[in-house]
Amino acid sequence: MINKQKLWFLTLFSLILVLGVYYITMPNDTVESINENSTIPVINIKNKDELSVLKELDYEDKIKEMESLKLVLNNVNSTIDEKNNAYEKLKLIEETRMIEEKLQDKVKKEYNLDSFITINNNQIKVTIKTKKHNYELANNIIRSIQEEYKDKMYISVKFI
């Protein structure tokens, strides 16, 4: 006889299994639907190349985050600590954006390649748009980006 605990386990396991199969079989070129209340537009990937889509999505995420931080800054009920934290995060986002653009310009100048770079703490993700995919090029890009930092950065390069 099945008791309640076994029934719950089987139900949750089945749900996880179904969601896992759905996630695996989902096409790669689809964009998840966004809430109708959201102000972010849905991007049609088929009409644009992957690099420009990545740039737009990243830009939209940063704009959304900056707007929420500005709301904290402008809120009368926010404490001084909350406002200071929001200001520091805004400053960090802007500094990171400037560094990302600088590194993208460096890759463009040195290798004549279009790139998209995101920085998250000590991790740098570089996406390069090129038909030539090789380890030597990736290694050279990693070295040229690492030259900009004194500390060891974890740099990954992806070709599209």
**19-55 residue pLDDT tens:** 777 777 766 544 344 334 444 444 444 445 677 787 8
Is 30 part of a structural domain of the chain?
Answer: no
Query: Is 68 within the bounds of a domain?
Result: yes
- Measure the CA–CA gap between 51 and 64, rounded to whole angstroms: 20
Residue 110 lies in a domain: yes
Task: Kindly state whether residue 40 falls inside one of the protein's structural domains.
Answer: no
Contact present, 51 and 129 (Cβ < 8 Å): yes
pLDDT at 78 over 50: yes
Per-residue confidence (pLDDT) for residue 56, from 0 to 100: 81
C-alpha–C-alpha distance, residues 72 and 79, integer Å: 9
**Tens digit of each residue's pLDDT (9 = 90 or more) over 116-148:** 899 988 899 999 888 888 889 999 999 999 999
Tokens of 116: 């998209």
Any idea what the CATH number is for the domain that residue 146 is in? 1.10.287.4300
At residue 25, the pLDDT reads 73
Phi, psi of 133 (to 5 degrees): -115, 105
Residue 73 included in any domain = yes
The per-residue pLDDT for 108 is 92
Rounded CA-CA distance 113/28 in Å is 25
| Helices and strands in the chain: count of H runs, count of E runs | 4, 3
How many domains are contained in the chain?
1
Domain that holds residue 61: 48-159
To which H or E segment does residue 157 belong? strand 154-159
Instruction: Tell me the whole-structure pTM to 2 decimals.
Output: 0.63
